[in-house]
Structure 1
Amino acid sequence: MARGGKEAKSREPAQGEFQNLRDKLRLLYHGSSRVAIRFQFSVLIVDVAILAFFIATPLIKDTPWFLYIDYSVAALMLADLVARALASTDVPRWFRQPSNWVDFVILATLLVPSLGNFGFLRVLRLWTLSQSRVIWKPLKRHGLERYEDTGKAVTNLVTFLFVVAGFIYTFFYKPGSGIDGYLDALYFTVTTITTTGFGDITLPGPLGRVTSIVVMIIGISLFVRLAQQVFRPFKVQFPCPQCGLQRHEPDAVHCKACGHILNIPDEGRN
């Protein structure tokens, strides 16, 4: 009995330290303090660096030190995934999130390069981070909250551009294809989205035609969304207590949908 009691007591401090670690990681990944925001921006910088590594892979893959970088990036991603899982309050739900499965695919391609190079999907983290309200809080502190929706629209468009360019570069880049590098893939993506259609670069085969059609349809939609955010009159986001309408004029006193009296904070009026 005494021995069992000692083992139980030794487990309690270990469990407490583990829980403290999870709490600290949760504050870093999901908190809004200065330290958390700096940490989250650092993670974003790392994501951009991994995207740059993907772009440079064709140029450095034959060098003797390529695998060292490749496995270092894999170790970094694995550590990030483990930390995110620990920071989650519901780990099974975290594993079911599509964005995390994307990271698992990228990690597999880094550990086994022969599977292919899907590092371009890492730029999706930029979109994920842009959905966090923590990123836009500095705008509110300076009275620039009206640019939040525009910033999100720009982020959506930029993310789409780089994801599609990476996809085209990965699956259509080969000798004689007309796409000689990542810049050509990005150039084709921009000309297709804007429906300019110079025709100097085309994607071969049925897959190329389907890709071009999808890029044009989604790209035009994102451009229209961006134009709406730029030219639409600014409205504050404040849910009406009665009908739930989210957006109102900055100086609104009554909800235009139900007439309920609103009490929009002064921060939203700046």
Structure 2
Amino acid sequence: MRYGGQAQWHNHIYNPIYSAGRSGRSWFQDSLGKMLTFAGNMNADSVVHHKLLHSVRARFVRFVPLEWNPSGKIGMRVEVYGCSYKSDVADFDGRSSLLYRFNQKLMSTLKDVISLKFKSMQGDGVLFHGEGQRGDHITLELQKGSLSLYLNLGKSARLSSSPPAATLGSLLDDQHWHSVLIERVGKLVNFTVDKHTQHFRTKGEADALDIDYELSFGGIPVPGKPGTFLKKNFHGCIENLYYNGVNIIDLAKRRKHQIYTVVSEHIFLLY
């Protein structure tokens, strides 16, 4: 950000950067509890430049003069620089899911990178799921406002009876956007939610994750039983959903043949 103005302009403004909270008046503060301030320009010619340490996403940015000339003259020029941002968003109503069908029967991977952002209307719901016939499975699920990752490579107990490999976050059903990143190399996994990362070693006999036929997003449809789901479906929005470099939502928007939609009849088989 760059500041410029008139000769009568004093040298302080403050930029209230929104922080966590629901009141709309929660700002970042310094160690003494004061709102963070930026020094402004002291004359009509010089320009003061401030580079923010962290990225800020906002529809509106407010700049409020803290001091001004007693005669009433005031001037300020602000330029805000940012980067272009691509957004692909899918809305899930709690009754449907997207299926991403593989080009082959089996997808076997030694490495996986899955990233997305979500905004949830409810505290429970499956964001995505995939499984194989020999016991491999991966599931990301909201449970009482926390995000649980189930992951296994090879023979083990069924998903319904196995504990999550990792759980992160709380109050994630606050209708705000939350970011998720899952990185796996063999049995080593990094699970990140809103920049909080948990490292773990997954269970199983192999290093590869073998998924049969498809990945489902928003729910776990039961094979051969249209409209039936194993667990509660996700209700909310998912943005920029990438599976190993594939933009899933973009494929759906372009109506590609790999993407299918399953609509629920509100029949859930809970094991």
TM band (smaller chain): under 0.3
Considering fraction of residues, name the structure with more helix. 1
Structure having greater relative contact order (Cα 8 Å, sep ≥ 6): 2
